[in-house]
Structure 1
Amino acid sequence: MRGISAKSLDEVLAAVSAAGTGSGDLGVELFDIVATLDREPALRRVLTDPSTEAEAKAGLAEQVFGGKVSADAVTVLRVAVSGRWASGRDLTDGLETAGVTALVAAADSAGQLDDVETELFEVGRFVRSDGELRQVISDRGVPSAPKSELLSGLLGGKVSATTLALASQAATARTGSFERVLTAFGVVAAERRSRLLAEVRVATELGEDEKTRLGAALAKKYGRDVHLNVVVDPSIVGGISVAVGDEVVDGTMSTRLEVARRRLAG
């Protein structure tokens, strides 16, 4: 976000921070508010109307949502609707970001942030590996509730409640595809500790010492801590491939063999 929306988002995130990091309930409630505002565009337009006094919009928001969500959620919402947004969509996008931030903060407070980062990556791989599942989750014509129920049935008990809530929200595909949004949520989690995300592909599982050395080398290269998401892929034969953002360093044996084959073929 830019301009007035970026300033308003900063104020909303400050309100989330002020609410504390006790549990992820605030994040889920903010997602529920987003869903309501997405379903009710007329209400969203009123709450972002620049000609309406901020206090009047805050009062309306409290009237609509008060008693349905916690006091903390109402406080964050009051701050959001009191701000100025370039569009009604920016308001709901900002509230979604606030929900992600609240969930990530709660996971960090509970010492579960590392697990959440890894789980988000694995959930993305899991959905991509099943063509039928990927099609259903990616279909914007399928309502969010059935998608959430499907993910709960498949992932419940296998990932944390935080990861499941984030995956379910990503499945709404409000700002892009499921995979793109899930990746963006992973970035928010990494940035909680000012870290980067690295996808590491190897032929066999790395030992803890190897992970530690690789993490230290990448941290030295990028000047920031790096969270490793390791993918074991026997097809690469040997070596290692590391992707950090758009930068990929491919030192796998399969790639080297393919390059050699192409050279020999002329």
Structure 2
Amino acid sequence: MNGASREALAAAREALDALTDNTSVDAAKLAEELAAVTALLDREVSLRRVLTDPAQAGEAKAELAGRLLSGQVGDETAALVSGAVRSRWSRSRDLVDGLEELATIADLTAAQRTGTLDSVEDEVFRFGRIVQSNKDLRTALTDKSANRAAKAELLRSLLGGKATPVTERLVVRLVTAPRGRSLEQGIDSLSKLAAARRERMVAVVTSAVPLTDGQKQRLGAALASMYGRRMHLNLDVDPAVLGGISVRVGDELIDGTVAERLSEATRRMAG
């Protein structure tokens, strides 16, 4: 997002946080309604252009949004959407992206309240790994000609009883409404938002054998010291690395595996 949209999204996130600080607000319901508004504006191109038209006064756009949503969603959701359209957005599509992000954050807040946010982070990561390793499953979930309801049913059969309700909702929304993203991009976005909810960065750690609790604690502390932020570890076991570990934080790779050292030695010999 460009400057104006970034500022608008930051303001919308602050409004959401202020709203959900009140535990009487149903964060899961808020997420569901925000997702419904996202779907509406994603379909209705002319409507979202009207709601983001820079030539129109912000208050007039907010009033229009309020009238459209009255009786369709709760007062909290209507207030958040009205506040969002009152801001200036660089592109009309940025508004939809922003509302989708608010829906995700609201669901993550629901998980945080029930103490399951860590589980959601891990489950989203594991789901990504499963999809990555199963080509048939990925094809079924990304087939543009496939019925959305069928995809949702497939996911519920896979995740039902094995993942938290928040994870199931997030993954079903991602798969049935990808909005131009690849499945991998969507999973990565969910993972980052979940980590940010706890003000932590995500480190994907790959090792030949599972790390002990002590090793995980020491590694987490070391990475937190390096990056100056709390770190959430997504742990993956891959015997192909032979020994040692590799750590990816964002675009940065710290590779200390035996496989990488052997590969480097081979490259040097060949050179």
Q: Which residue of the partner structure matches residue 35 of structure 2?
A: 31
Map 1:42-191 to 2 at 5 A. 42-142=46-146, 144-171=148-175, 172-191=177-196
- State the Cα RMSD in Å: 2.0
Q: Which residue of the partner structure matches residue 225 of structure 2?
A: 220
TM-score (norm 1): 0.91
- CA separation of 1:79 and 1:235: change in aligned 2, threshold 3 A: same
Distance in structure 2 (CA, Å) of the matches to 1:14 and 1:110: 21
Distance in structure 2 (CA, Å) of the matches to 1:264 and 1:54: 65
**Residue from 207, 210, 215 that aligns with 1:202:** 207
**By how many angstroms is 1:79 displaced?**
0.7
- Provide the secondary structure at the position in 2 that maps to 1:189: helix
Q: Which residue of the partner structure matches residue 44 of structure 2?
A: 40
Structure 2 gaps, min length 5:
none
TM-score (norm 2): 0.90
- Provide the secondary structure at the position in 2 that maps to 1:19: helix
Contact 1:104 1:189 in 2 (8 A): yes
Q: Deviation per CA, 1:30-70, whole angstroms, max 9, x where unpaired?
A: 11111111111122222222333433333332333222222
Flag as ranges the 4+ runs of structure 1 deviating above 6 A: none
Structure 1 gaps, min length 5:
none
Paired residues, number: 266
Q: Deviation per CA, 1:76-130, whole angstroms, max 9, x where unpaired?
A: 1111122221221011011111112212222222222211111111111111111
**Residue from 208, 232, 235 that aligns with 1:230:** 235
Q: Which residue of the partner structure matches residue 12 of structure 2?
A: 12
215-224 or 171-180: bigger deviation: 171-180
Q: Which residue of the partner structure matches residue 242 of structure 1?
A: 247
Q: Deviation per CA, 1:1-50, whole angstroms, max 9, x where unpaired?
A: 22222222122112211221543221121111111111111222222223
Distance in structure 2 (CA, Å) of the matches to 1:13 and 1:256: 44
- Provide the secondary structure at the position in 1 that maps to 2:194: helix
**By how many angstroms is 1:265 displaced?**
5.3
Contact 1:240 1:252 in 2 (8 A): yes
Distance in structure 1 (CA, Å) of the matches to 2:237 and 2:94: 39
**By how many angstroms is 1:263 displaced?**
4.4
Tell me which amino acid in the other structure corresponds to 2:83.
V
